[in-house]
Each structure stands twice: as C-alpha cells, then as structure tokens.
Amino acid sequence: MAFKRSSGVLLHPTSLPDCSGIGTIGKQAYKFVDWLAEAGQSLWQVLPLGPTGYGDSPYASFSTYAGQPLIIDLDELKEAGLLTGDDILPPDYIKSNGDINYGAVVFWKKPILRKAAGNFMNKKDHPFRKEYDEFVKANSYWLDEYALFMDIKNYYDEKAQQDNLSGCMWSNYWPKDLALHQEKAVKDWAASHKDSIEIEKIIQFFFFHQWNALKAYANSKGIHIIGDIPIFVAPDSVDVWANQKLFLLNSEGVPTFVSGVPPDYFSATGQLWGNPLYNWKEMAKDDYAWWISRIKGVLNMVDYIRIDHFRGFEAYWAIPFGEETAINGKWEKGPDHALFNAIKKQLGELPILAEDLGLITEEVKALRDDFNLPGMKILQFAFDANEAGKDGMVNTFLPHNYTPNSLVYTGTHDNDTLRGWIDKASDKELNLIQEYIGKNGLSKDELVKEMIRLAMSSVSVFAVIPMQDLLGIGSEGRMNTPSTTGTNWAWRMQPTDFNADIAKWMRRLSALYARNSVGL
C-alpha cells in the first residue's frame, strides 16, 4: 500500500508518567497524544499490547489478541461507578513515577481489577452493559478461549505457589486432559467456573473500552498508531494451548523444536528464544486462517503493524527442544510468499512494516519487496564500527543508501538509548558521525539532536524516534537488553517530560523535511 511521508514517536504506554505503578491508557495517554499533535507528529508506535507474564516482556504474551490489564486506568473505572476512591488508593510501595516494579503492580492491581469486574457483573443495568454484550459477541472467536485459559492458569499458578513449585506451564503442570485441550475436560471446566471466567472477559472489556476510545482520540488528532506483532508466540499462551496442531509439539504438548537465531558476531552461541515453532504444513491446509485472524485482530487495535523477525517467514532457525544454546539449530523453509498472498487475498493491501534486521538474504529481500513492505533502518548501526569496518560491503544503514520505502529509527526498544550509545561510542565512531553530517566539535547532546535531524531528513517514508532519544536520556532509559531478564521494560517518563521546547523543535523539523501538513 502507499505510505504517506510521516514521522512520530516510539513510546509504550507502560512508560507514561504520573500513574500509580505503571503507565496507563488514561489521562496521561491523552496528554501524550496532545503533545504529539503539538509536536506536529502523526505516528505513535507502541510495543505489543498483550498481557505479560514472567520476564514482563510484551513480546511474550499470554494471548495475541488480548489487552494488557495492567495498563487499564483505575480512575476511569472509578468514574464509571465500579470502584471507590479507597479502592484505587495505592499503597506506599506503589509509586506514581520512576521505574516499574512489575511484581508489586501485579500484586496490587489485579485484585482491584477483579473487584471492579465483579461489581460490573452484579450491575445488570450498568450503562456499559450493552457495549459489553456486543464486545463479548464480536470477540467470542478469541475471548472465550482466552478467558478459559486464564482461569485455568490462575488456579494452577496459585496451586504451584502453594506447592513451592515454579514455572507453571500448562504442558507440565495442568492435568493431562486439560493440558491437551480435550473437549470434555474443557467443557466441564467452563461449566463449573462460569463466574471466574466471566471476570476475565469483563477485564478485557475494560481494556478495549479504554483503548478504543484512546485510539479514536488519537485518530481524530491525525495520529496513527503503529502496533507490533512478534512473529512467534509465547509457549505459555492460549494461542499454543488452544491450537496445538498448528505448532510443532509432541503428544504431551511439549515443543519438539523452538525458535532462535544462529551464532553471529553479536553472540558466539546465538540466541535461544524458546518459542514453539509453527507447523506451516498444517497452517497451509486452511489457507493460513490462524495468521489472517491474528492480523485482523491486531488491525482492530492499530493502524499499521510492524512484524518482528520478518525474515522468519522466508526461513527460520529451528533448534531441537532441550538444547542449552542455539548452536545446534538448522534453517528450515518458511511459508514465504504463500502466506502473504493469502493475507492479501483476504485483507487487501497490507499496512504491514517489516522488521528486516539480522541475517537478510536475497530471498528475504524478495519477500519484503514483492509485497512492497517497508523495511527498517537503524541509525546507530550506520555508525557502528562493526558495520563500517566491513571491507567491500555497503552499509545499508547509512542514510545515503536508503530507499523511500523504509522506516528509519535512531534506535529500537532493543538498542541502548541514543545518548547511551554515544556515551559508549569510540572516537572513530564519533568522528565518523561528525564527518558524515559535516559538523565538527559537537557536544554529545548536540550529536543526539543531529542524529535525530538526520533521521527526519532522510528519504525514508516514516521516521520514528524513541521518546528517550528526544529527551536525551542515557542508558538508564534503555527499554530492553536482549538475552537478559529482571531489569527490562521498566523505564517511565517524568511528568515534566512533555516538553514544549522539544515539541516546537520536532514540529519545525517535521515541517522542514515535509513530514507533516503544517508547512514551513
């Protein structure tokens, strides 16, 4: 499809400020939309919006369709008459600002959401009742299984804690008939747990009621939302549990092969992600209906979709289950053009953006380009000594090598912040940046601004700048360090970070480089 030259900001809702414990999709999200409009921006990119579990990664969700309950705004539930002021008063260990403590937020907030859902369930005449009934009906294709899965999971997670066990995966701790999704066991559970299953549905309604209103507000301001789909799904998810024949699992529901990437100069042992791999032959039998439904579901939430690890559709690295590293994997062919032909046939032109980083072959380029999907350019990679020093190779991340059908970022959620990267850059790298832009003697703060300007001035149709980079924040603002756990996904803005001077500067850059309709 044709993309309009635009620019915007990468900020996950969890990073919004001035909310109890974690950013929400309430008042601060609307304030951010207003700030984007003031800054002349027309794109807001978010990370995956699903419910998260161990490790807190939005790329490992319990469902590819569901929303993250932790970012539901409690003030709005209070205004809807479902909670009281005392209900939503945070304890001392929940802070309004500063990094997220996910364990504390889960412990405090989930019982409150269940209380609000229980109050709604008992108010048959609540003003949201008709909207809720319509939501349940329209989303039954995923909501029924999701609510059932979460209800069973909640029960057995609690039992695992009582038994001092950890890692309560459905495949290794649930009763076998439930773990294997046997029809009678599933129906019996649903019949005997109606209220608790209904609670899960109502919590999802709260999320979508708030998210849909926020998206409509953003769209009314001329701002489009870029969402994110990880190519693989989490093993501990309803997606795998309810669709076991579509994944490479054994008769016990355990993966036979899992995902990752092979060794490269970043890692001598590769990266072992551990997601179950798709049974692409089985998926092809119904013309990839599962994938088409997945994309439709996300497009109901956002305007554009970035697909993470796009190269895995052409070929993927399959690692035998049980391996401790990714070394002993092998390349297997993916669905390639067949999948995207099926998607295009049923959904039309694709508002899809391809995360085409990593080992990109000519076959991957052909898959991307044959469907006219914009790929990604990362400015940090443009001046990385590892890239710049490859003899005889063109550094495709340098802006003079861009094509218009691309997205440029100063960095992604997996990179250090731009200021953090500059702080660690070698003299050779810093000199290369200054020589490239034709300015010498710049301070590190000035280099950050010039890199942002370089992205905005490039020919790439979309330019997206992480909020941390606009604020000039160092490594303390890094969102994720791959292959680590415990400290990721936690950064939050300060309430004062909706800076009018930065908005004015971005508005001027967007006008200067024809990324908005304001004009010079």
Per the CB < 8 A criterion, the answer to whether 48 and 58 are in contact is: yes
Buried/exposed code over 242-254 (b: 16+ C-beta within 10 A; e: otherwise): bbbebbbbeeebe
Q: Please confirm, yes or no, whether 355 is among the known catalytic residues.
A: yes
Identify which of 413, 382, 432 has the alpha carbon closest to the alpha carbon of residue 488. Answer: 413
Q: Rounded to an integer, what distance in angstroms lies between the CA atom of residue 237 and that of residue 64?
A: 8
C-alpha distance from residue 106 to each of 22, 344, 484 (Å): 10, 39, 21
Could you say which of 308, 314, 356, 497 is catalytic?
A: 308
Of the candidates 212, 166, 209, the residue with the CA atom closest to the CA atom of residue 55: 166
Sequential DSSP letters for 368-426? HHHTT--EEEEHHHHT-HHHHT-TT---TTSGGG--SSEEEES--TTSPPHHHHHHH--
Residue 414 known to be catalytic: yes
The string of DSSP codes covering 456-511 is: HHSS-SEEEEEHHHHHT--GGG----TT--SSSS-----GGGS-HHHHHHHHHHHH
348: left (phi > 0), else alpha (psi -120 to 50), else beta? left
- Using CA atoms of 303, 277, 343, 339 in order, give the dihedral in degrees to the nearest 10: 140
Active site residue 303: no
Q: What does the alpha-carbon distance between residue 173 and residue 243 come to, in Å, rounded to a whole number?
A: 18
Which of 99, 287, 414, 450 is labelled catalytic?
Answer: 414
Strand pairing category for 462-466 and 406-409: parallel
State the alpha helices, DSSP H only, in 126-193: 129-138, 140-162, 170-173, 176-179, 183-192
Sheet holding 304-308, edge to edge: 352-354, 304-308, 224-230, 43-45, 6-10, 462-466, 406-409, 375-378
H-run or E-run covering 226: strand 224-230
- How far is 1 from 201, CA to CA, in rounded Å? 35
Burial class (CB in 10 A: 0-12, 13-18, 19+), 131: middle
DSSP state of 249: B
Q: Pick the catalytic residue: 355, 416, 429, 497?
A: 355
* Cβ–Cβ < 8 Å for 301, 211: yes
User: Please, are residues 286 and 355 in contact by the beta-carbon 8 Å criterion?
Assistant: no
Catalytic residue set: 308, 355, 414
